[in-house]
Structure 1
Amino acid sequence: MTHDIDFTGVFPAMCTPFDADERIDYETLRADAQRLETAGVDGLVPVGSTGESATLTHDEHVRVLEAVIDAVDDVPVIAGTGSNNTREALELSERAADAGADGLLLISPYYNKPEQRGLLEHYRTIADAVDVPQIVYNVPSRTGRTIEPDTVVELADHPNIGGYKAAEGDLGVIGEIVERTADSDFSVLSGDDALTLPMLSIGGRGGISVVANIEPERTVAMVGAALEGDYERARAIHHELGPLMRELFVETNPIPVKEAMAIRGYGPARLRPPLTRLQDEYREDLEAILEDLENQPTSRAEAE
């Protein structure tokens, strides 16, 4: 197929809200999806790492996805469907496609630590079988294995693979992938909010973002300004968001972002074990950062 999603812009990696009994709070989930759509994001990414996919059953994956799809009017929904088991990732991808997902985000197999030929086979198996645009996700800190540039470039030739989420933290490697895929219909997206603007400056097309859950308007403004070539404004917004970007990773994601969601009134801070609530020593700093952002104009560049 030709990609029917433009993987450009801001795609919040959504949280999954839980009630006091650790059941999914679908009402809050739908309200959150609508809040983000109204803020102007370019798509939504439920049931990924930020959505605590590791502690959701396959049926819960599908129900969360369906709830988000039903809640929004006009933004694509990209489902996290990765696994360290190729058969399981394929099953989740097929179920997500059947449920109406517009795209898929596939983390590379974790724990198993496959060689590059195994990664190629894993992604090709799913891309051959599921006719939905797909994003390859490289996050070595969670998987224990990196996807090498040669592998990404080879995967970019597949008609169903339209993007790469980069969370390896190496701009040199990311720049090489951008260069080598520049002539194809392929988007390199940031998986690390602090590197989104630097990535945009070397040809990245946006980001799958954690900070956009809390500050979607600012994140959209920053990415939009950079894509339009207005780096003065983009830098100003990036620096406004910098303290929050850093604070959202003082503990394992999504612990801090769920606390921030609760502080802002967007959803509960509850997590499923083994994840635990943010330590009190960090909460005061997070509250201060969020208050400071609320008291600022949308961007200093605009205010000037």
Structure 2
Amino acid sequence: MWQGVFPAVSTKFKSDDSLDFGEMARCYRLQMEAGVDGLIACGSLGEGPMLSHDERLDVLRTCQEAAAGKPALLTVAEASTRQACLLAERAARAGADGIMVVPSTIYHSNPKETVATLRAIAAAADLPVMIYSNRVAYRVDVTVEMLEELADDARFVAVKESSDDIRRSTDIINRLGTRYDLFTGVDNLAFEALAVGAVGWVAGLVLAFPKETVAIYQLMRAGRNAEALAIYRWFRPLLDLDVSTYLVQNIKLAEALAVGSNERVRAPRMPLEGAVRERAERVIRAAIETRPVLPDLQ
């Protein structure tokens, strides 16, 4: 159902901490102009847990306008199943093309609880669902066995695989074939995941470097792996910024330097400073200075 590059877009704020819809629209249009295939609002990178439900739906609407008919998904990541279902219902009423679901963000649910939560949220939305499996960040692992159990519900159409174990991608395909659209959710494993069969990439550094991200994906799909690998090797130091406690600040700094956006984040986060900022800025500026010439993708 879904494939391609789906940016996990960042949420933009004004100096008074209100949502900056104009800047979001500008940045999201840059993604669409580069050829991305859909947008995902209010995930980890989009600071979803720091936003009210109303704010999240407002960000979704901005994504829908920018996506111009391509899929616009809302992330559902709540501490309680009840709140997750309420947000999922509202996403459906707002016309979301689907939802990406984090099973449990505070309580580390067991497999039975995780499956029950995913089923409840899918039923509440009655929309296509991308399951977000990230045992590293959220300590809830949606295993291959659990995906097999959930396969009887056609609303579960995709999985964002973020276990940080590239073998998991092959395990999913070996067990379930093409039952799920397999997306990689780890920027610095994207080439590897696409090489073993992933059909999509939920990307972060794409926000600052959209054309390079799209080029890697399209080259891989065309079997031009060596050309994709050359770009990926240049990209890797940047992509490592996505795998960090400070991924939001890192990527917003990259957006500020590469596309002229800003670094504003919602508290308790604060913009990077000191040695951490200096290191990230060195990586970003070096990448900008050595940006590769992209091949013809026609």
- TM-score category (smaller protein): over 0.9
Alignment length, in residue pairs?
296
Q: 1:127 aligns with which of 100, 122, 131?
A: 122
* Alignment pair present for 1:225 and 2:219: yes
Q: How far did 1:131 drift? A: 2.3
Asked if the contact 1:236–1:299 (Cα under 8 Å) also holds between the matched residues in 2, the reply is: no
The aligned residue for residue 69 of structure 2 is 74
In structure 2, give the amino acid aligned to 1:81: V
Asked if the contact 2:29–2:66 (Cα under 8 Å) also holds between the matched residues in 1, the reply is: yes
Distance 1:162 1:300 in 2: 32
Residues 104 and 48 (structure 1), Cα distance of their counterparts in 2 relative to 1, 3 Å cut: same
Q: How far did 1:74 drift? A: 3.2
Gaps of 5+ in 1: 1-5
Q: How far did 1:291 drift? A: 3.6
* Alignment pair present for 1:206 and 2:200: yes
Comparing 284-293 with 225-234, greater Cα deviation is found at 284-293
Asked if the contact 2:17–2:266 (Cα under 8 Å) also holds between the matched residues in 1, the reply is: yes
- SS in structure 2 of the partner of residue 244 of structure 1: helix
Q: How far did 1:300 drift? A: 6.6
Identity %: 27
Q: 2:228 aligns with which of 222, 226, 234?
A: 234
Asked if the contact 1:19–1:268 (Cα under 8 Å) also holds between the matched residues in 2, the reply is: no
Q: How far did 1:187 drift? A: 0.9
Q: If the length of structure 1 is used for normalisation, what is the TM-score?
A: 0.91
Distance 2:249 2:99 in 1: 24
The aligned residue for residue 157 of structure 2 is 162
Question: What is the correspondence of 1:157-196 to structure 2 with a 5 Å cutoff?
Answer: 157-184=152-179, 186-196=180-190
* Alignment pair present for 1:142 and 2:98: no
- SS in structure 2 of the partner of residue 136 of structure 1: strand
Asked if the contact 1:103–1:133 (Cα under 8 Å) also holds between the matched residues in 2, the reply is: yes
Q: 2:239 aligns with which of 241, 245, 259?
A: 245
Distance 1:160 1:17 in 2: 31
In structure 2, give the amino acid aligned to 1:157: D
Residues 251 and 83 (structure 1), Cα distance of their counterparts in 2 relative to 1, 3 Å cut: closer
The aligned residue for residue 109 of structure 1 is 104
- SS in structure 2 of the partner of residue 63 of structure 1: helix
Residues 115 and 229 (structure 1), Cα distance of their counterparts in 2 relative to 1, 3 Å cut: same
* Alignment pair present for 1:85 and 2:80: yes
In structure 2, give the amino acid aligned to 1:179: N
* Alignment pair present for 1:262 and 2:263: no
Q: If the length of structure 2 is used for normalisation, what is the TM-score?
A: 0.93
Distance 1:209 1:68 in 2: 15
Distance 1:247 1:126 in 2: 31
Residues 148 and 251 (structure 1), Cα distance of their counterparts in 2 relative to 1, 3 Å cut: closer
Comparing 86-95 with 274-283, greater Cα deviation is found at 274-283
Cα-Cα RMSD? 1.8
Q: How far did 1:252 drift? A: 2.1
The aligned residue for residue 8 of structure 1 is 3
Distance 1:265 1:296 in 2: 16
- SS in structure 1 of the partner of residue 160 of structure 2: strand
In structure 1, give the amino acid aligned to 2:247: N
